[in-house]
Amino acid sequence: MIRITAMEEYGVRCLVRLARNGAGQPVTCATLSEAEHVPPLFAEQILRRFRFGGLVTSVRGPHGGYILAKDPVTITLGEVNRLLLQVRPEPAQGL
């Protein structure tokens, strides 16, 4: 039996929400946290790992938030798990 950690489940839920939101429409961490029932501090940690891993991009400003940095079709569960289970995520290439 495969066990999925809470961080993995929450991470996938956040990515699915970002993918459903559409391209170029930023979603705040608070909105993701509330919509997906993810504790706010957990959501911040997850999004930080995804940003360092190149899965999401942060948008600053009053209408800022997070958007997917990659086509959702190209994101694999293995990639998500590697980012979430690293003790200290490595920055994506080019950052």
pLDDT of residue 86: 76
pTM equals 0.82
CA–CA distances in Å: residue 69 to residues 8, 24, 39, 74: 19, 10, 23, 11
pLDDT of residue 57: 92
Residue 56 and residue 67 in contact, taking contact as beta carbons nearer than 8 Å: yes
pLDDT of residue 36: 92
CA–CA distances in Å: residue 93 to residues 6, 11, 55, 90: 27, 21, 11, 9
- C-alpha 74/C-alpha 95 separation (Å) is 20
Question: What is the mean pLDDT, run by run of 10 residues, along the chain of 95 residues?
Answer: 84 91 84 92 93 92 89 90 74 60
Instruction: Tell me whether residue 28 is exposed, middle or buried, using C-beta atoms within 10 angstroms of its C-beta: 0 to 12, 13 to 18, 19 or more.
Output: middle
Q: Tokens 């999401």 appear where? A: 56
